[in-house]
Amino acid sequence: MSIDKIPVHVSMIMDGNGRWAKERGKERVYGHFEGVNSVRACVEAAIETGVKYLSLFAFSEENWNRPDEEVTTLMGLMVKAMANEMDSLDHNGVRFVVLGNRDRLGPELNEEIDRCMKRTEDNQVLTLIIFLSYSGKWDILQAAKKMAMDMLSHPEDIEAVSMDDFGRYLVTDGIPDPDLIVRTSGENRLSNYLLWQGAYSEFLFVDTLWPDFRKDDFRKALETYAKRDRRYGKVK
């Protein structure tokens, strides 16, 4: 089935790994491992449908408050997943980007991120963005601090600052705002994600747990988006 209107940027809040594992009598981390298969499926579906940017909310600033064992497992899974998937991503023209408060990540993970980003920086088929150690409030705050520092020497310029000017201080500078944000697992909230960038995004909340989310689910989300009427506050 063809889809009339393809979004440029689709963003996924990957939720439900823990519940998926619990339903199967497994530890929460088991769901995180299975969720990698859903990431792979969504990347393939994005390429097949012509989506240019796919972003995934992998780990929030608030997630650092989870049990140490789970956090350690998640960080190790990130390293392993990058090592396992990078050949395929590079071969298929995927540019790999990680955004967030990377100062909180360990040296091994940061080194692997830098290596993967450097390797794929010229790819143009799809940009895959992983939001890691990220929150919307943190992003806005760090942007405000950077802008304030730049304004110290020219305070008279502050009145001329536009929304686009401020947006260049966000970690997503150069990346289009998401057209569609999808959250899995039946939860109906943003959870401090892309608060600035999602101002005019279309939202879709689905009951499917993330480890069960596959290509058909991704295409159904795009079909739902194609039926939406985006007016940006205007009227026809």
The Cα 75–Cα 90 span in angstroms is 22
What does the DSSP assignment read for 38-63?
HHHHHHHHHHHHT-SEEEEEEEEGGG
C-alpha 7 chain-centroid distance: 15
Nearest to 183 by CA among 55, 71, 78: 55
Catalytic residue among 17, 37, 63, 65: 63
Residue 25 dihedral angles phi and psi, to the nearest 5°: 70, 25
What does the DSSP assignment read for 93-116?
TEEEEEES-GGGS-HHHHHHHHHH
Measured in Å, how far apart are the chain's first and last C-alpha atoms? 28
Catalytic residue among 15, 139, 177, 179: 15
Q: Catalytic: 164?
A: no
DSSP secondary structure letter of residue 15: -
Cβ atoms of 98 and 133 within 8 Å: the answer is no
Locus of tokens 């972003």: 55
Residue type, 39: V
Q: Catalytic: 15?
A: yes
Cβ atoms of 139 and 105 within 8 Å: the answer is no
Residues labelled as active-site residues: 15, 63
